């Protein structure tokens, strides 16, 4: 079996605050294989976006990657110099953010922003870069690309802006795309179009995708495998079909119960009791314990819970399966 394109091993990202140490990411391990779309799913505040930023070594000020490895094509990204990691960003790993207005500079037209990326990472001259940019806009479904490439971001709809961001991300043919909830700000119809576009481009360019989301519906239709994260820890990983047919971790089950069903009459909407709580100085035990409906007598006293292999590609971090 070939090595994964990306392998995150025991990653820890800490913020040292006046109140104590905030463990934003606490021992996360995650693999993304070549050509695969991996879903990273969990509720807000669980650490999904921080994993994406950590891979590109863009941890916000005050935070630090305390330990672990981020192996990309055999290289540990944490050992690279600033100049070396800049080459990786954009050329080999690109990121698509939730709001395209945070990715596009409102003061510049679409064209120069696309052209600058192509010239910086691929070395094209201005004319070549412009022709490629127009072709990319055409391929992602932007009407009249020669006209729209001269528009400012605010002159495009939300869906078209996100298409432009996706075009920029794919323009340098990266090996990996990190997509951080790229459809959250869009209406449902446009969401479906953007997701299909992302899937088609991933297949066409043979690009792996780490898709960060809180929406299990998107995961079902887009992803090959899934990692479920809670409070900075991966609690379950499996192939998508396996996870949906046979979820094991109590948190994963609770997420599925929280989905609104259109095929059944629901008198009561399920919600997970309690809140995630602070990540500061978190005790060395199951983080989901305070909210778990399936807790055992030994859960509160047990230290750090390790992964258990429920089946060959199905790992669960729960005392029930030890």
Domain match, 304 and 226 both: yes
For 141, phi then psi, to 5°, come to 90, 20
Predicted pLDDT of residue 1: 56
Residue 17 has pLDDT above 90, yes or no: no
Residue 204 has pLDDT above 80, yes or no: yes
Domain match, 40 and 81 both: yes
278-292: average pLDDT: 79
**Rounded to a whole number, what is the largest CA-CA distance in the chain?**
68
In whole angstroms, give the CA distance from residue 46 to residue 24.
8
Summarised one tens digit per residue, pLDDT across range 54-65 is 999 999 998 999
Tokens of 8: 């995150």
Residue 187 has pLDDT above 70, yes or no: yes
Residue 322 has pLDDT above 60, yes or no: yes
305's torsion region: left (phi>0), alpha (psi -120 to 50) or beta? Answer: beta
Residue 163 has pLDDT above 60, yes or no: yes
Domain match, 143 and 179 both: no
Report yes or no: 93 and 174 within 8 Å, Cβ to Cβ. Answer: yes
- DSSP strand E in the chain: where? 6-17, 20-32, 37-41, 63-72, 75-76, 93-96, 176-180, 208-213, 225-230, 233-239, 308-311, 314-316
- Mark which of 154, 173, 192 sits at the end of a domain: 173
Domain match, 162 and 210 both: no
Inside any domain, residue 315 = yes
Predicted pLDDT of residue 98: 81
Inside any domain, residue 97 = no
Query: With bands split at pLDDT 50, 70 and 90, how would you rate the model's confidence at 264?
Result: low
The position carrying tokens 């991933």 is: 202
Inside any domain, residue 21 = yes
Residue 263 has pLDDT above 70, yes or no: no
Inside any domain, residue 258 = yes
Summarised one tens digit per residue, pLDDT across range 237-248 is 999 999 999 999
261-277: average pLDDT: 70
User: What does the mean pLDDT of the chain come to?
Assistant: 89
8-33: average pLDDT: 92
Query: With bands split at pLDDT 50, 70 and 90, how would you rate the model's confidence at 306?
Result: confident
Query: With bands split at pLDDT 50, 70 and 90, how would you rate the model's confidence at 265?
Result: low
For a pLDDT cut of 90, what percent of the chain falls above it?
A: 61
Using a 10 angstrom Cβ sphere, with 0-12 exposed, 13-18 middle and 19 or more buried, the burial of residue 140 is buried
Predicted pLDDT of residue 319: 87
Inside any domain, residue 15 = yes
119-140: average pLDDT: 92
Question: Of the given ranges (27-31, 197-201, 206-210, 260-264), which has the lowest mean pLDDT?
Answer: 260-264
Under DSSP, the state recorded for 290 is G
Higher-pLDDT residue of 125 and 286 is: 125
Inside any domain, residue 256 = yes
Inside any domain, residue 270 = yes
Domain match, 109 and 140 both: yes
Predicted pLDDT of residue 262: 62
43-64: average pLDDT: 93
Domain match, 117 and 142 both: yes
Domain match, 75 and 119 both: no
Residue 298 has pLDDT above 90, yes or no: no
Owning domain of residue 166: 102-173
Summarised one tens digit per residue, pLDDT across range 207-231 is 999 999 998 989 999 999 999 999 9
């Amino acid at each position: 079996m070939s090595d994964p394109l990306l392998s995150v091993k025991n990653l820890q990202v800490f913020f040292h605050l006046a109140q104590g140490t905030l463990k934003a990411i606490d021992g996360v391990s995650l693999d993304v294989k070549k050509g695969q779309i991996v879903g990273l799913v969990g509720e807000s505040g669980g650490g999904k976006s921080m994993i994406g930023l950590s891979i590109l070594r863009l941890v916000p000020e005050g935070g630090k990657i305390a330990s672990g490895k981020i192996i990309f094509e055999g290289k540990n990204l944490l050992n690279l110099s600033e100049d070396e990691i800049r080459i990786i960003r954009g050329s080999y790993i690109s990121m698509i953010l939730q709001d395209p207005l945070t990715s596009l500079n409102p003061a510049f037209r679409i064209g120069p922003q696309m052209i600058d990326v192509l010239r910086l990472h691929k070395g094209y001259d201005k004319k070549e870069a412009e022709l490629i940019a127009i072709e990319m806009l055409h391929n992602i479904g932007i009407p009249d690309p020669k006209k729209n490439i001269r528009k400012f971001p605010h002159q495009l709809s939300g869906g078209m802006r996100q298409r432009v961001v996706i075009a920029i991300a794919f323009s340098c043919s990266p090996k990996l795309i990190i997509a951080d909830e790229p459809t959250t700000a869009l209406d449902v119809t446009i969401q479906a179009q953007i997701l299909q576009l992302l899937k088609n481009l991933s297949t066409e360019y043979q690009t792996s995708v780490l898709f960060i989301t809180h929406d299990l519906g998107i995961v079902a239709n887009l992803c090959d495998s899934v990692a479920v994260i809670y409070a900075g820890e991966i609690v379950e990983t499996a192939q998508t079909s396996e996870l949906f047919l046979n979820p094991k971790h109590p948190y994963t089950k609770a997420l599925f119960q929280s989905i609104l069903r259109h095929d059944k009459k629901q008198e009561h909407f399920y919600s997970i009791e309690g809140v995630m709580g602070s990540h500061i100085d978190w005790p060395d035990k199951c983080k989901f314990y305070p909210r778990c409906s399936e807790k055992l007598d030994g859960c509160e006293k047990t230290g750090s819970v390790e992964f258990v292999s429920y089946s060959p590609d199905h790992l669960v971090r729960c005392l029930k399966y030890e």
